[in-house]
Amino acid sequence: MGYELETAITYLPGIGPQRAKLLEAELGIKTWRDLLYTFPYKHIDRSRLYKIRELTTEMPFVQVMGQFRSFEEAGQGRKHRLTGHFWDGEMFLDVTWFQGIRYIKQSVKVNKDYILFGRPSVYGGRLCVNHPDLDSPESTALSKMSMQPYYTTTERMKKAGMTSRSLERFTSSLFSKITWTIPETLPDYITERLHLMPLDKALRAAHYPTTADELASANMRLKFEELFFIQLVIMTYARRRQQQRVGQRFTRVGELFNTFYRKYLPFPLTEAQKRVIREMHADMKSGRQMNRLLQGDVGSGKTLVALMVMLIAIDNGCQTCIMAPTEILAEQHLQTFRTFLKEMPVRVELLTGNVKGKRRKAIEEGLQDGSVNILIGTHAVIEDNVQFRSLGLVIIDEQHRFGVAQRAKLWEKSQAPHVLVMTATPIPRTLAMTLYGDLDVSVIDELPPGRKPVRTLHIYDNQPEQLYRGVVREIEAGHQVYVVYPLVKESEKLDLKNVQDEYVHLKEIFPQYNISMVHGQMKPAEKDAEMQRFVSGETQILVATTVIEVGVNVPNASVMIIQNAERFGLSQLHQLRGRVGRGAEQSYCILVSNFKLSAETRKRLQIMTETNDGFEIAEADLKLRGPGDLEGTQQSGIAFNLHLANLGRDGQLVQLARDTAAFVLDADPELQTQENRLLHRHLMELREEHKDWSQIS
């Protein structure tokens, strides 16, 4: 009967064409199945009625049965409010509305029984509840409700009168229609081995549990299933990739590599750099395609490692290509590579959207005749007219900035080239297992010698004089300063500092210094010119947005000031901090924020001041915000959408899902046995649903 779950959502009572359109646009709900898998974000126990005399402000939510005896309006404009006096037979409770007053006056009656549900508070010395839910005793069957579900809604839905209670009615109606047992998706040997709740019972309990324990068991079953099938598709793909043969083995470590290592190496390699180069060479000479992720914190020396691996490929008669997400980063790689290589006979070229005419034609011809050894570029390198003679190694920098299709198009330009993907965004283990489960992982967990950890301070925006004194002190010592803002220009909706206004402001404060400005709305040539002024030391202060987050290397810059730091995520703050501390001098990162901070934001800024370890920060970010909010998780590796599982909190479940997937595939790689046909069928359905999955399988 599972096919009936594909019934259009309009076939539920109360959902007409307009509501169906809104549900699809806002929550992606088109069918009964979509609604079934739109889970509540919380449940609240509605099984108990309180008396008003029992209420305290420490109680999160309570419900009281009684009647409104009278109403009164007061105030004007924003202070306009409606207060109802609610009587439970013993005491009165003030109930206040600041919005929707006209609707309340029309719909709520005096001397009629209501069950009031809300959060107690105190105003003017009196106990009150603001904007409660109101139900008639007949419509709220307390004995059945027990744990009431609360569903996520958007502003558009709320304006259209569609609330969490609306979704609750829709799901309740849906379950009344599903009179059959929802088909199982996992074979008995998995559910019995792991003591998992049957799918039908789990789906019903996830929406309408009778106890907290039943809800926990239902969620565990559904989270496991999400993670298991993601791991199953990743591991199936990874095992197929491992069987692919590469046309050419890179067995030689030849003249170019050895000359560079002995003569031009800019500084001694760390043990971590040596280890990851050995890991990559072992892959490339194995006869199988290398598919490896290189993780390294900001400043750990990934670019140097990438160049040395490229030299191995060139020594073996192949061309190499590195694709970067921005022109700034691509140009930075070009300058770095040419500086490192000096007079070595290696032709390095840059291909971006700005390279045109004769210059572009010469590069394309050099790629086709093999005279271009290293191509550095942006998305321009995946255009159809860019063809290589013998592409043997593909490197993707800042991996999370590219989608699956973009990466696939690059390595389709050659037959199974070796693939190295790099990221300076440390990825927590549970996330890496899900996003990059098809890749082997190398980690540079050591910074070059002589680097001093960046000191990070958190100050409030009411202390500008202290901040400016520090800027003067560093510039007078011969150093340079970044100042980063969240906005390009003033916003009517957001009370935040912006680059354009603050650029003018800082020029007034520091008339003795030269200041550059860089942001994403500038023309590329203008942006590059301003950036170059800072790189050359012509300007002492660079005012910017987060366009400088990656690919900017100015060893003389010793201070990173991040204004409105509360607006940035942990990983982004860490990336920005990585722009300083690249020289031998002590560097500083100053986080400037508003004084009014939420507990989570305050914790985020505190973490930044306590550690420079990117992996520790990434783990904390995952726990605080979840994977859906982390930059790039919908682009990285396999796109996925988790309904319930949280990679920050469900690490053990990720490992269990991975172990179970390995157990299944070890015994039956093609999922052809009778007991695994259920898995195979569901896997095919998921691949049809998630188009990105089919691209890699």
pLDDT for the residue 237: 73
Asked if 514 and 540 touch (Cβ cutoff 8 Å), the reply is yes
**Residue 639: band (very low, low, confident or very high) from pLDDT cuts 50, 70, 90:** very low
Same domain, 293 and 383: yes
Same domain, 121 and 96: yes
**Beta carbons within 8 Å of 517's beta carbon, 6+ residues apart:** 499, 500, 503, 530, 542, 543, 544
Identity at 607, one-letter amino acid code: I
pLDDT at 289 over 70: yes
Pick the last residue of a domain from 611, 636, 671. Answer: 611
The radius of gyration of the chain's CA atoms, rounded to the nearest angstrom, is 30
Enumerate the β-bridge partners of residue 73.
Answer: 82
Distance of alpha carbon 51 from the chain centroid? 45
Task: Give the CATH number for residue 54.
Answer: 2.40.50.140
Same domain, 440 and 462: no
Q: Rounded to an integer, what distance in angstroms lies between the CA atom of residue 180 and that of residue 167?
A: 22
Distance of alpha carbon 410 from the chain centroid? 24
Asked if 647 and 428 touch (Cβ cutoff 8 Å), the reply is yes
**Residue 694: band (very low, low, confident or very high) from pLDDT cuts 50, 70, 90:** very low
Mean pLDDT value across the chain: 84
pLDDT at 508 over 70: yes
- Is residue 620 a part of any domain in this protein? no
pLDDT for the residue 434: 63
Region 195-220: what's the mean pLDDT? 94
| Tens-place pLDDT, residues 40-88 | 988 887 778 899 999 988 887 888 999 999 999 988 887 889 999 999 9
Mark out the alpha helices in 4-118 (DSSP H runs).
17-27, 32-36, 101-107
Region 624-634: what's the mean pLDDT? 47
Q: If we measure between CA atoms, which residue out of 577, 502, 595 comes closest to residue 543? A: 502
Q: Rounded to an integer, what distance in angstroms lies between the CA atom of residue 175 and that of residue 149?
A: 14
pLDDT for the residue 245: 56
Asked if 651 and 430 touch (Cβ cutoff 8 Å), the reply is yes
| Tens-place pLDDT, residues 349-377 | 998 878 888 999 999 999 999 999 999 98
- Sheet with 120-123, strands from edge to edge, namely 120-123, 126-130, 92-97, 81-87, 62-74, 113-118, 133-135
Q: Rounded to an integer, what distance in angstroms lies between the CA atom of residue 61 and that of residue 543?
A: 47
**Beta carbons within 8 Å of 36's beta carbon, 6+ residues apart:** 5, 171, 174, 178, 182, 203
Of the ranges 243-252, 265-274, 485-494, the best mean pLDDT one? 265-274
Same domain, 123 and 230: no
| Tens-place pLDDT, residues 475-499 | 999 999 999 998 887 665 666 788 8
Same domain, 272 and 230: no
pLDDT for the residue 511: 93
pLDDT at 255 over 50: yes
- Is residue 462 a part of any domain in this protein? yes
| Tens-place pLDDT, residues 554-575 | 889 999 999 999 988 887 898 8
27-34, Cβ contacts within 8 angstroms, sequence gap of 24 or more: 27/152, 27/154, 27/157, 31/5, 31/6, 31/7, 32/4, 32/5, 32/6, 32/7, 32/174, 32/177, 32/178, 33/5, 33/6, 34/9
**Greater pLDDT, 631 or 131:** 131
- Is residue 617 a part of any domain in this protein? no
Asked if 74 and 89 touch (Cβ cutoff 8 Å), the reply is no
Mark out the alpha helices in 436-562 (DSSP H runs).
464-476, 499-509, 524-535
pTM summary value: 0.61
pLDDT for the residue 685: 76
Q: Rounded to an integer, what distance in angstroms lies between the CA atom of residue 414 and that of residue 46?
A: 62
| Longest pairwise C-alpha distance within the chain | 94
Task: Give the CATH number for residue 286.
Answer: 3.40.50.300
| Tens-place pLDDT, residues 535-561 | 889 999 999 988 876 657 788 999 999
Same domain, 64 and 31: no
pLDDT at 103 over 70: yes
| Tens-place pLDDT, residues 402-432 | 455 555 666 566 677 888 988 776 666 666 6
pLDDT at 633 over 50: no
How many CA atoms, within 13 angstroms, populate the side-chain half-sphere of residue 76? 0
Number of domains into which the chain is organized: 5
**Beta carbons within 8 Å of 124's beta carbon, 6+ residues apart:** none
pLDDT for the residue 496: 75
The tokens for 381 are: 């390198």
**Greater pLDDT, 221 or 355:** 221
Q: Rounded to an integer, what distance in angstroms lies between the CA atom of residue 340 and that of residue 374?
A: 13
Pick the last residue of a domain from 544, 577, 611. Answer: 611
- Is residue 627 a part of any domain in this protein? no
Same domain, 475 and 575: yes
pLDDT at 636 over 70: no
Task: Give the CATH number for residue 158.
Answer: 1.10.150
pLDDT for the residue 204: 95
**Beta carbons within 8 Å of 41's beta carbon, 6+ residues apart:** 150, 151, 152
pLDDT for the residue 635: 34
pLDDT for the residue 498: 82
Lowest mean pLDDT among 28-32, 376-380, 589-593: 376-380
Pick the last residue of a domain from 611, 642, 665. Answer: 611
Mark out the alpha helices in 316-454 (DSSP H runs).
327-341, 357-369, 404-411, 429-435
Instruction: List the domain range (segments joined by +) for residue 496.
Output: 455-611
